[in-house]
Chains A and B, each alone.
Chain A
Amino acid sequence: MMASSYNAKDEDGHITVSGPGGGTLRSKKPENTAFKQQRLPAWQPILTAGTVLPAFFIIGLIFIPIGIGLYVTSNNIKEFEVTLYDMSGPHQNPFRNCNNVFMYYGLSNFYQNHRRYVKSRDDSQLNGDLESLMKPSKECEPYAYHENKPIAPCGAIANSMFNDTLELFYNDPNGTKIQIPMTATGIAWWTDKHVKFRNPTDNANLTAVFQGTTKPVNWRRPVYELDTDPQNNGFINEDFIVWMRTAALPTFRKLYRIIPKKNSMVPTLLRGNYTLEVVYNYPVRSFEGRKRMILSTISWMGGKNPFLGIAYITVGSVCFFLGVVLLIIHHKYGNRNNSADIAN
């Protein structure tokens, strides 16, 4: 039986159907482009000894000097730490260089990274939004209102701000105690101080601005009396900002003051005995926390941290050693990739 329409099928399956009315319909053959036919040009790397082994050696050779550099730099940083629980007498000063010296306070067993704690703040209020000033967000509960007044700044983070005062005195050979001048500005991030934290208005009279709010429960003074310097008062007080930047780990240190260098000739801190005077306001016994004070210089890689240097040296040597081992293994047992082996 002859079919009424002619279906011709040529060599590669290209079907053209001509209906009774004449004319050809669209063919069903897929497009023969490189993209659709999976023929895109490509780079096909494979793991050979020629690429992998040099990579290992290069990594080793780069990392070991970096590690040594880091370790040496870290060793050159002077750091001095004293635990704050008793004020035993004067301490020796190991510092001898001529750069800025940084004073930190450190806390241990203080979980600033606890989830409920981290959430307990109102960034709009801290940014100076007037509405949030009077109506702190719910995240700040239960530190949002006190005696029916909104707390400024609200939240658990603000409430637990570190408020010990630390002062350093130099014991002069003839007996007088000279206070070392320390700057309290320049300790916070620029973006924090100028963008994230803003006082509700730029009005210099902060007392009026914060009218109607109350201080956080654990604070001694309200926020607009944190410092006499108007540039460091209110929400933009740098100690406050530093505290509000919650730490990642339960043992942390935060920058407290900077002892500026005098000039490049004279050491910042002369040799001799120093006394640290602490006004203890901050209770840590209840959660078995510990406080300490750290004096440190810094370098291009930050503070004293031998971890990075040691890690680099270790990884570099392991890589190099691994490269050697792989080279030996490859030499002895490798070379099985001969194409003559391919059985078909």
Chain B
Amino acid sequence: ACLGLADIKIWVLTGDKLETAMNIGYSCNMLRDDMNEVFVISGHTLLEVQQQLRSAKEHILGLSRVSSAGDVEKTDMFAEDSVFEETIIAEYALVINGHSLAHALEPQLEHTLLDLACLCKTVICCRVTPMQKAQVVELVKRHKRAVTLAIGDGANDVSMIKTAHIGVGISGQEGMQAALASDYSFAQFRYLQRLLLVHGRWSYFRMCNFLCYFFYKNFAFTLVHFWYGFFCGFSAQTVYDQWFITLFNIVYTSLPVLAMGLFDQDVNDQNSLRYPSLYKPGQQNLLFNKRQFFMCTLQGMGTSFLLFFIPYGAFSVTVKEDGSNFSDQQAFAVTIATSLVIVASVQIGLETHYWTAVNHLFIWGSLTVYFAILFAMQSNGMFGIFPSNFPFIGTARNCLSEKSVWLVILLTTVVCVVPGLAVSFLRVDLFPTLTDKVRHLQQTTKRQGPQEQNLRRVRRTSSRRSAYAFSHQQGYGELITSGKNMRTSTVSSARSPQRTPHSSNWIENMLKRKNEVSCISV
């Protein structure tokens, strides 16, 4: 249910029989009694299957839409291969068995199948062979602009796991084959929710921030030379010291952004699980697309412009306190380099949402290391050892001891940072996204102190079905009907959002007692 709120569509592909699969569906709340219609496709021939698919589709869409040939209605907005999907208010479910699926996956029917499946809220495929599992995943991958994830725990799921964009294997009961073939593996199905809504979302968020910042700082760093070209006869004279160029990306600015990429969180994990729709920006590519890239490039260019021209204006006639010169190449370089490192550090500070101790260490540490290396490399000692390699001897001392230089650096930093700050503030204030609202809520909650949190309890609609038939050994019928092993709290009443549709506690109880491989393979 949680994942459904996050706009993730869940399809069940199982090797079980039809009734078993449908019962599982009802027990997991994927199929509900209040659904408008549950379509069961169980034709034996191609024509039968085609008929059933089309009639189901017509039922959903209304007769006028589906043309007689059963072709997909294509609009100009979508790419050639994508499938037209209409948002429908009513809820439908599709159950198709393996035999029909074999027919439905034929080239002439697969589009119809895909359309129909996407119009339904839930799709359950039963009696599916491993090959068909992979084929279904392949179908979705090829024709829809969606990212597919396949999760399974047995050897029969390996082909499906390998076909999907992301494969998740459950390690444990059925051995390690699924886990070995997958990108991620964990021990229980319910961890999927955390994987997606918490860690997946954080990963996307961090990656986008990381990329944005990386491009920004490199543009700011490099384009200064572009502006300088106008004043040095376009001779490609570098503005900075050679050593600074070498160390900038490796030492001075690498660790803070690494810390941000590892630890940053926009919303904490409980809230990520509580508000699954926070997952949507990731699906819709909102945090890093062409527009975002363009914006951060623009910001980098603007910063480089200010980084060059403010010292340029200040240095054109400046002299030191004792009257001696100061508007030389090396002092200019040191001033701009120092401003750049400070601006980059302030910028990453503003973009970090989650300041752990590591972040603090890396950011302040990088600044300290910059000054330490600067003074070390421009000291008498280094010059004594390698005179030709350290021509900047004495510059840092002479330059950074001037008050006017620090005033220039302060001015540059403020001018580079303030526009970005103003824009972000306005965006959060006037057009807050769900993320902003949740963060605001988080902060107010923290300030109010730990209180009794009212967990939203998803009321599970009680199914009117009361019989669950499994094919097991003798004796279990009495066990179930006597109700001895059923824990009422987990079956009927309130349910915390942590539980995913896929595992019910009493089923696992059964497994424990039986010590056997269960029939639930999805």
Interface centre among B231, B325, B391, B432 (most CB of A within 10 A): B325
The 3 A-B residue pairs with the shortest CB-CB distance in the complex, in nearest-first order = A191-B394, A13-B187, A248-B332
The answer to whether B328 and A246 touch across the interface, beta carbons within 8 angstroms, is yes
Of the candidates A6, A52, A70, the one whose C-beta lies within 8 Å of that of B515 is A6
Taking CB atoms, residues of chain A closer than 8 Å to B365 are none
Q: Is A336 an interface residue (CB 8 A)?
A: yes
- Give 1 or 0 for each of A303-329: 1 = CB within 8 Å of chain B CB: 111011001100100010010001001
The answer to whether B171 and A249 touch across the interface, beta carbons within 8 angstroms, is no
Q: Is A247 an interface residue (CB 8 A)?
A: yes
The answer to whether B402 and A188 touch across the interface, beta carbons within 8 angstroms, is no
How far, in angstroms, from A191 to B274 measured CA to CA in the complex?
63
Q: Which of B282-333 contact A (CB under 8 A)?
A: 310, 312-333
The answer to whether A300 and B321 touch across the interface, beta carbons within 8 angstroms, is yes
Q: Known A115-B232, A248-B329, A248-B332; judge A195-B383 contact (CB<8 A).
A: yes
Q: Known A63-B414, A113-B329, A191-B393; judge A40-B313 contact (CB<8 A).
A: no
The answer to whether B187 and A9 touch across the interface, beta carbons within 8 angstroms, is yes
Determine the residue in chain B with the shortest Cβ distance to A254.
B325
Q: Is A46 an interface residue (CB 8 A)?
A: yes
The answer to whether B275 and A344 touch across the interface, beta carbons within 8 angstroms, is yes
Contact stretch, chosen from B111-119, B144-152, B348-356: B348-356
Q: Is B434 an interface residue (CB 8 A)?
A: yes
The answer to whether A315 and B415 touch across the interface, beta carbons within 8 angstroms, is yes
Q: Which of B399-425 contact A (CB under 8 A)?
A: 402-404, 407-408, 411, 414-415, 418, 421-422, 424-425
The answer to whether A250 and B320 touch across the interface, beta carbons within 8 angstroms, is no
Tell me how many residues of B have a C-beta within 8 Å of chain A: 98
Q: Which residues of A come within 8 Å of B, CB atoms?
A: 1-3, 6-9, 12-15, 28-29, 38, 40-49, 52, 55-56, 59, 63, 66, 70, 100, 102, 111-116, 118, 122-124, 127, 129, 137, 186-192, 195-196, 242, 245-255, 258, 296, 298-305, 307-308, 311-312, 315, 319, 322, 326, 329-330, 333-334, 336-339, 341-344
Q: Is B339 an interface residue (CB 8 A)?
A: no
How far, in angstroms, from A2 to B5 measured CA to CA in the complex?
41
Taking CB atoms, residues of chain A closer than 8 Å to B233 are 111, 113-114, 250
Interface centre among B274, B323, B358, B430 (most CB of A within 10 A): B323
Q: Is B441 an interface residue (CB 8 A)?
A: yes
Q: Is B398 an interface residue (CB 8 A)?
A: yes
Q: What are 13 inter-chain pairs, A to B, with CB distance below 8 A?
A: A9-B173, A42-B265, A44-B443, A52-B421, A52-B425, A63-B411, A114-B235, A191-B397, A195-B394, A298-B319, A305-B317, A326-B426, A336-B431
The answer to whether A7 and B173 touch across the interface, beta carbons within 8 angstroms, is yes
The answer to whether A298 and B321 touch across the interface, beta carbons within 8 angstroms, is yes
Taking CB atoms, residues of chain B closer than 8 Å to A308 are 313-314, 404, 407-408, 411
Determine the residue in chain A with the shortest Cβ distance to B427.
A47
Of the candidates A44, A112, A188, A330, the one whose C-beta lies within 8 Å of that of B324 is A188
Taking CB atoms, residues of chain A closer than 8 Å to B444 are 339
Q: Is B4 an interface residue (CB 8 A)?
A: no
The answer to whether B172 and A9 touch across the interface, beta carbons within 8 angstroms, is yes
